[in-house]
A and B are shown apart, each in its own frame.
Chain A
Amino acid sequence: MSAAAVETPAPDDVLAVTEDVWVALLGDDDPLLPRVAPDGAAFDATGPWSAATTVSGGWQGVVTVELDDTAARSLTARMLDLPPGLDAVDGDIADAVGELVNMVGGNIKSLMPGPSVLSLPSVAAGRAAFASDVREASRLDLAWRGSPVRVSVHVPVS
């Protein structure tokens, strides 16, 4: 990834986008809450899921969303409207988490200089792969139903 532009979205804008996506997908019964995590701390979750999408063009960056297994399963169950007692399978979780990062990433892209193209999401149980020549430019540590959620924006290393 080249360093065409290293402008970064404002943290408040990233939070607003994330909250909008969350409410649209999951309703406002269980809002995202702020969570304190030390600078540079790894995502401290059990069985984490992560997804990444890359923006290329007028603005370049990578948007990632990380959730713990409990949050990922609950999110998937809500999105698929699964009946109580029916657990989401891994393929469905990957799909739901991928759509989540697609929406967050697409709306962050809309805040930045364009034109740009959004990649299809990559999703992993663990850490999703994305370009290594980027640095974390902003990070939101949140909690949903007591489970950790992290949204990060990475920009090219200049």
Chain B
Amino acid sequence: MRAMIIDDSRAMRSILRRIVTDLDFETAEAEHGQAALDQMRAGVVPDVCLVDWNMPVMDGYTFITEVRANPEWRDITLMMVTTESEQRQIVRALAAGAHEYVIKPFTPDAIVDKLALLGLLPEGHGVNA
């Protein structure tokens, strides 16, 4: 499994990287949505993207709409990881194609459990472990 971590904060990417590498994910990282799209078009296609909302250049919502517009990427799971916690924004992201939504701050267990619910973890990890 490969996770693409998309967040303009290096510190937040580091935190998320530690969580998913502990779950044996390979990781790729991007500091905004456009950089992530560039990597994906170059062949770095992840199984799951952990996407911040507020980023320069291209925000997470635009990134999700771009990914969902490409049929070749329909199998990629998209999880928003953001401080945006208004119901309106959550609905918008899910309607655009996000599968899950995690609000910062989060615990590592919250990320693990969401990945498990999405069927992205081997047995022994997550909510039923």
Give the B-binding residues of A (Cβ under 8 A): 20-21, 23-25, 76, 79-81, 92, 95-96, 98-99, 102-103, 105-107, 109-110, 114-116, 118-120
Contacts and interface: CB of A to CB of B under 8 A. Distances in A.
By Cβ-Cβ distance, the 5 closest A-B pairs, closest first, are: A106-B83, A24-B105, A79-B11, A99-B9, A110-B85
A102 B55 CA distance: 11
Contacts of B83: 102-103, 105-107, 109, 118
B106 interface: yes
Interface of A is mostly: helix
A95 B10 contact: yes
17 contacts: A25-B15, A25-B105, A79-B11, A80-B10, A81-B14, A95-B11, A96-B11, A98-B9, A99-B9, A99-B11, A102-B9, A103-B105, A106-B84, A115-B88, A116-B86, A118-B54, A118-B84
Interface string B2-19: 000000111110110010
Interface size class of B (residues with CB under 8 A): 20 to 34
Interface of B: 8-12, 14-15, 18, 54-56, 82-86, 88-89, 104-107
Contacts of A21: 104-105
A137 B85 CA distance: 23
Contacts of B85: 106-107, 109-110
B88 A80 contact: no
Contacts of A114: 86, 88
Nearest to A25: B105
Contacts of A95: 9-11
Nearest to A92: B10
B106 A120 contact: no
Contacts of B84: 106, 118
B107 A24 contact: yes
